[in-house]
A and B are shown apart, each in its own frame.
Chain A
């Protein structure tokens, strides 16, 4: 009985919309969708999304590992605050994120870097994407570090390994799968970012429009096949991400 209810709920809420993706593409016709996907502005949008993701993910991966180690293994004042700020983007509206960056780097803001344009250009979009994806690697690394414990590291020290050697040879391998899983989740988050980037980028087609912004652009200009075309690409990427996440889960330990 409860199986039926649970599975029905899932079908309606989850599978219904997913099915629409393929239904709509089929209705619009793959041809029109392909035309839209290969338009120069759309290709630029994909490139831009990938560029931003390629910068944000490594930054947050390194940060995630560093902050994870600090929170689990070290004592320092303000640890609670650091933890709160790391988790904040999970609970915060992307629009609020975008606005805060808009205010910080805007005309009346506190930070100006001379000739370098931040808002309505790549830097702000990267900053926005990094902000919203800060938590993910850290949140995978932290519980794994706690579970693994530091006995292996202590053993390494007694055997003469330096701090760096211990990190490379002992610590990092022990959290390897947590990091990989965190990277996958972060990547998905960056690829799908909309709200914060919408505020800071100005959505200029061919210049500061990401793939997600492009979908909105197509839709508002009543270009259904364009909107669904780009959505299909993003949807397929999401499915690949899902598959990778599922394959990684047992190794990462969150079965």
Chain B
């Protein structure tokens, strides 16, 4: 088991980190400081953050509606949420391009813009927050809300002081995963963003281009940075869960 994990995951990662320091630490910093990769990284992080926040709000809302409300076709809607998990990302990019590109049937022409990146990432990251919040909402003891009402709390207070703190760990881990996914996404973006440097080029596309044009070191440098972000996100999610559930430990 550990051999499998080492060969498949650990070794390649080690090789990556090793390669990024191939030109020495100064080489690493050189590449991290170049204007083009910096711009790409900035764009990536900003869009990912916006996407994560959008999902925090809408994902929670959708989860709430799916758990607490009734409407015809609910089971179908619940099933469709997983579509972005099932659909290849390249197809997602193609379809969003068709929807908002030059031949858009709704006359929105956002292709090859930053807005397009934002829109396609919303598609790709949709399931994350919804699926992490749903089970938590399901388990929530509605009697806590009843107790709060009987003690005089208005509906908004019931939500902010009783429900939200209880579902916050779910929201946060969903948001973190959505963020990490958005930072690393390639398939859906590569066609529809036009990949214009300093405009619509994201970090993952820059790395791809550098790799294909032989700049292994540069690519490795930025890739290692993305790797570090991924690790931080995983750590963050673990830490958040631990913090949020400390009141459950006797």
Contacts and interface: CB of A to CB of B under 8 A. Distances in A.
The answer to whether A and B touch in the complex, with CB atoms under 8 Å apart, is: yes
A10 B62 contact: yes
A235 B207 CA distance: 28
B5 A212 contact: no
Given A18-B83, A192-B87, A199-B211, A131 B9 contact: yes
A142 interface: no
A86 B5 contact: yes
26 contacts: A6-B65, A14-B83, A14-B84, A17-B92, A20-B95, A21-B91, A23-B105, A63-B1, A88-B231, A91-B180, A91-B181, A91-B234, A96-B16, A99-B211, A99-B220, A100-B16, A101-B12, A103-B216, A134-B9, A192-B87, A192-B89, A198-B208, A199-B211, A219-B94, A231-B91, A238-B91
Would you list the 3 A-B pairs with minimal beta carbon distance, nearest first? Answer: A93-B184, A192-B88, A194-B187
Interface stretch (B26-34, B160-168, B222-230): B222-230
Interface string A185-218: 1001001111100110000000000011001100
A79 to B, nearest CB: 11
Given A9-B62, A103-B220, A199-B211, A97 B12 contact: yes
Given A96-B226, A231-B91, 7 more contacts: A5-B61, A15-B80, A95-B223, A104-B16, A192-B90, A194-B90, A199-B208
A134 B223 contact: no
Task: Name A's interface SS.
Answer: helix
B98 A20 contact: yes
A117 interface: no
A37 to B, nearest CB: 14
A91 B9 CA distance: 13
A147 to B, nearest CB: 12
Given A3-B71, A85-B5, A216-B190, A228 B89 contact: no
Contact of B227 (A13, A18, A92, A227): A92
Contact of A17 (B61, B62, B123, B177): B123
B220 A215 contact: no
A234 B8 contact: no
B8 A130 contact: yes
Contacts of A99: 16, 207, 211, 219-220, 223
Nearest to B232: A91
Tell me which of B61, B81, B86, B99 has the highest count of chain A C-beta atoms within 10 A of its own C-beta.
B86
Contact of A93 (B69, B85, B230): B230
Q: Quick one: which of B5, B105, B181 has the most chain A CB within 10 A?
A: B5
Interface stretch (A148-156, A158-166, A169-177, A242-250): A242-250
Contact of A84 (B4, B190, B234): B234
A41 interface: no
Interface string B212-243: 10001001100100110011011000000000
Nearest to A128: B12
A16 interface: yes
A95 B95 contact: no
B218 to A, nearest CB: 11
A98 interface: yes
B157 interface: no
A255 B79 CA distance: 10
Interface residues of A, number: 82
Contacts of A95: 184, 186, 204-205, 207-208, 211, 223
Contacts of A7: 65, 71, 77
Contacts of B198: none
A254 interface: yes
B144 interface: no
A174 B92 CA distance: 36
Contacts of A242: 79-80, 82-83, 86
A87 B89 CA distance: 20
A238 B84 CA distance: 9
Which residue, of A16, A23, A95, A97, has the highest number of chain B Cβ atoms within 10 A?
A: A95
A51 B21 CA distance: 36
Nearest to B87: A238
Contact of A245 (B86, B177, B203, B220): B86
A82 interface: yes
B85 A103 contact: no
Interface string B175-196: 0010011011111001100000
A110 B181 CA distance: 29
